[in-house]
Amino acid sequence: MRFFLLTLGMMIFVIPGAVRAQQNSVVLELYTSQGCSSCPPADALLPKLADMPGVIALSLHVDYWDYLGWRDSFGDVQYTKRQKAYAHALQHRPLFTPQMVVQGQDILVGHKEGKIMQAVDQFRSLPSPVNLKVERKAGGLSIQATGRGISIDAPLDVQLVRFLEAAEVAIDGGENAGRTMTYTNIVTDWETIAHWDGVEPLSLDVAADSDEPVAVIIQRAGTGPVVTAAELR
């Protein structure tokens, strides 16, 4: 496990066209890096987690290990900032890779399968306060959400996540030099597309490619708990 020391004060379901794991979905965010020698076991575990019913497992590549001699080809400061935001919200430091954030609420070591599975089972058993429906339509996506009469802490962020299902990378420098790695569900863009009060029905039409893998995640604003999520492949 690699640690990146920062003080908080420095932190400025699979059927084509249909939703997978629409209700009681658990979102796993793996913060990883091609330049981190401790990350390959977590990267290798992610496909197994992603294949579990009711789990949306995503890989977010940070950029703060690039100085070790290899620039992560998927690394983005946007995901480093998101990881910092969780550290602030959950009062958890230092930053490290591989780090797994479960349902926006738990921070775990990214290759500790037993602890991750325990957290997944816990969150998957909870009732979802939102009915979420995501469908493909001509030129994009239709997103519909309604409350189920369960109290929700609002406001909520409605987020669209685009990702690559898999990619193989030959690493020529840094701590993993000489290795060829396969990465799964690599996030290429994470965008907040709407804010929602959780009361009035939500209806959105969003542009997207017809064959683009996406996830829709509804989360308490300020990198809070995930309320519900769905993915399309």
Query: Measuring CA to CA, how many Å separate 89 from each of 7, 93, 122, 187?
Result: 13, 11, 21, 22
Alpha helices in 97-136 (DSSP H): 113-124
Return the pLDDT at 1: 64
Alpha-carbon span 80 to 59, nearest angstrom: 12
Alpha-carbon span 187 to 29, nearest angstrom: 10
Return the pLDDT at 94: 85
Contact of 68 with 174, CB cutoff 8 Å: yes
Determine the structural domain holding residue 201 and report its residue range.
2-232
User: What DSSP state is assigned to residue 37?
Assistant: T
User: What DSSP state is assigned to residue 227?
Assistant: E
Q: With H, G, I as helix, E, B as strand and everything else as coil, classify residue 80.
A: helix
Q: Is the pTM of this model over 0.85?
A: yes
Return the pLDDT at 18: 43
Provide the CATH number for the domain around residue 148: 3.40.30.10
Number of domains in the chain: 1
Return the pLDDT at 149: 83
The mean pLDDT values, 10 residues at a time, for the chain of 233 residues are: 45 38 78 98 98 96 96 98 97 92 98 98 92 94 92 92 98 96 98 95 95 96 95 94
CA atoms within 13 A on the CB side of 69: 9
Alpha helices in 40-101 (DSSP H): 40-50, 77-89
Token pair in block for residue 123: 């969150």
Return the pLDDT at 151: 81
Q: What are phi and psi of 116, to 5 degrees?
A: -65, -45
